[in-house]
Copies of this chain bind each other. A is one copy, B any other.
């Protein structure tokens, strides 16, 4: 299984890299990452764009699923649901912790809690990953 550092290298040239996602921890039971809320990740009013939260979380859920795949398996996100609770201001660092709600043979469900620097819960993202047999 890849380490957090290896996932970081994989995502650098990809969308999570563009957003500045930093993978801090990646185990089969938990994925942790941070993201500095740069002005170009914001919507109007200088707060983090809702889409940036969702993309941040989607990245962690996919990493969590990959950590639990068997030999020759692959995974894809089939659906994702977000509830937004609080705005994260530009300049703050959002932290995401992703844990599994379900790890089955055909599907896995991962839930990511995104919090602000002051610890307040900003959003919860729940996504279903389909487990695909070797292609």
Chain A residues proximal to chain B, CB less than 8 Å: 10, 13-18, 39-44, 49-52, 54-59, 62, 76-85, 87, 101-102, 104, 106-107, 109, 121, 124, 126, 128, 130, 132
* Interface contact A79-B80, CB-CB below 8 Å: no
Tell me the nearest residue of chain B to A74, going by C-beta: B45
Instruction: Output the least CB separation between A23 and chain B (Å).
Output: 14
Tell me the nearest residue of chain B to A86, going by C-beta: B102
Tell me the nearest residue of chain B to A82, going by C-beta: B80
Assembled-state Cα–Cα distance A10/B45 (Å): 11
A10, A50, A107, most chain B CB atoms within 10 A: A50
Assembled-state Cα–Cα distance A106/B129 (Å): 12
* Interface contact A81-B79, CB-CB below 8 Å: yes
A109 cross-chain contacts in B, Cβ below 8 A: 83, 85
